[in-house]
Chain A
């Protein structure tokens, strides 16, 4: 059992790692490409030419940016650091692998939150969108950013010496999730089997909470949304750390 003092020390190291990642990788081309350009261009290709009020479109953009930005940092930083052998710096330091991955999760979390605040601000300032349930919005964004950052860390455990080798298979998971998560078609309008499938996607619960926060619309109920996101966060963290431990043992 970790003592309180050690816990604080590990938390400080995780923060140090997170801050370092923010400084080095936030403005790097793959982060900009997969964290910002990708969700914004997908959003634009979906909304342009459709008769959709902008206030209805804003939650889609928030959920997409949260999803792509948070989950991109791990698959970008970890393979790059493996290739440059800087990841060994963490492994030879007196900190646990949990701490290292927590630091990386924090970097993904802050990136996702930072980027997704932009559409909220744009919606509020230019299009008069209003927050109807602050708690649902904030808790949904925080939990989603953590869950997606952990999801990215989990995929970053795949063997590969470059972000492309991780992001390519990862996108085979991320992009199909968009279509079953009520992003483009609200959950209530999906067929019954679609509603069942969407319940298993973490992104469904993000968009549900964001919609609950901005226009009061919700299908599954915020409590279920928050519970599912919490479970996903725990599962991604647990599976991610197991995979990274297995990788380390192979080395």
Chain B
């Protein structure tokens, strides 16, 4: 597969703040490429630079061979953009919004009607074609926004946090649409802070933290960075005191939430014995105990040093000590 997006030391400053720090990467034609990172990591800024919404301070990038500085109009012709906010016109109907977008992208006049009808069908919006965009649910707005980004048949679709704020069903159905889209040959570049989503959806993932890419690989290869480690999940019939688990930290990183704790260990057998001893010492009754495969989240934490929400909450509860 050819590289359809390449960046070389792409950098963006907002005054003295370094938002994107010399990132270099390649996205292959026809893949779903995920840009994974916490809030404020530089994901949106990278997309904004690639689609011409903001200018990079340093570095270069090409999209389908077109330089984003020199040939931005050609770049814009071959990309569709779905920002984090579903930004069609509330006052116009779904149909009118799509027709407006077709006009903006010079879609051939004789094909516009057919394209719009077909997109509405694909995204399950045919019934709502006459509804004002502002009156749609969040999930339908998202679908309409994606449909609008596809009206000119782009080669690459950029999506910024596509499922953010959506309910489970809408998010699942959207992921289904994106997989189908890849089958039609469209390259999908998406940003997300949902690790599970990146794992399920993306062919390759770039992990970005504080503006820097720290790993680019397939989800499987990223998970392999913590191969050799296992996670023991133990649930008790009563709440585990946070302070008590400190004695387990000799065996690996510990996370606690209510009645359950997780330990990332290298020696499962030794750790299981320690855990049983821990339960006896503290009068805890084990509800269940099992070992789980490391997830992409574990790999993410290992690679980035960015701790999960649960770990941060736990630290806060303990008053900053870990």
Interface residues of A, Cβ cutoff 8 Å to B: 9, 12-13, 16-17, 20, 23-24, 84-86, 88-96, 248-249, 251
Contact = CB atoms under 8 A, between A and B. Distances in A.
Given A24-B92, A94-B106, A89 B73 contact: no
A94 B100 contact: no
User: Is chain B's binding surface mostly helix, strand, loop or mixed?
Assistant: loop
A101 B308 CA distance: 46
A84 B134 CA distance: 11
Given A93-B105, A95-B104, A86 B88 contact: yes
B214 interface: no
A23 B91 contact: yes
A83 to B, nearest CB: 11
Interface in B77-114: 77, 79, 81, 83, 85, 87-92, 100-101, 103-106
Best-buried of A23, A90, A249 by chain B (most CB within 10 Å): A23
B90 A91 contact: no
Contacts of B76: 92-94
A12 B100 CA distance: 12
The 5 nearest A-B residue pairs measured at CB: A16-B103, A94-B76, A85-B87, A93-B104, A94-B77
B53 A88 contact: yes
A93 B92 CA distance: 19
26 contacts: A12-B103, A12-B106, A13-B103, A16-B103, A16-B104, A23-B91, A24-B92, A84-B90, A85-B87, A86-B87, A88-B83, A88-B87, A89-B101, A90-B104, A91-B52, A93-B76, A93-B105, A94-B74, A94-B77, A94-B105, A95-B104, A248-B55, A249-B54, A249-B55, A251-B48, A251-B53
Best-buried of A12, A91, A93 by chain B (most CB within 10 Å): A93
B179 to A, nearest CB: 24
B52 A84 contact: no
A250 to B, nearest CB: 9
A94 B73 contact: yes
B152 to A, nearest CB: 9
Contacts of A12: 103, 106
Interface string B53-82: 111000000000000000001101101010
A251 B88 CA distance: 21
Nearest to B99: A16
B74 to A, nearest CB: 8
Contacts of A16: 100, 103-104
Interface in B37-51: 48, 51
Interface residues of B, number: 26
B68 to A, nearest CB: 12
B191 to A, nearest CB: 15
Contacts of A90: 104
A95 B104 CA distance: 8
Given A13-B106, A89-B88, 12 more contacts: A16-B104, A23-B91, A85-B87, A86-B89, A89-B101, A89-B104, A91-B53, A92-B81, A93-B105, A94-B105, A94-B106, A248-B55
A24 B91 contact: yes
Contacts of A93: 76, 104-105
User: Is chain A's binding surface mostly helix, strand, loop or mixed?
Assistant: helix
A21 to B, nearest CB: 10
A248 B49 CA distance: 11
Contacts of B101: 89
B83 A85 contact: yes
A207 B110 CA distance: 46
B53 A92 contact: yes
B87 A84 contact: yes
A92 B79 CA distance: 9
A16 B55 CA distance: 26
Contacts of A249: 54-55
Nearest to A86: B87
Contacts of A84: 87, 90
Given A24-B91, A85-B83, A85-B85, A92 B52 contact: yes
Nearest to A90: B104
Contacts of B55: 248-249
B296 to A, nearest CB: 30
B105 to A, nearest CB: 6
B101 to A, nearest CB: 7
A84 B145 CA distance: 14
A248 B54 contact: yes
Nearest to B100: A20
A236 B90 CA distance: 30
A161 to B, nearest CB: 13
Best-buried of A9, A91, A249 by chain B (most CB within 10 Å): A91
A85 B141 CA distance: 14
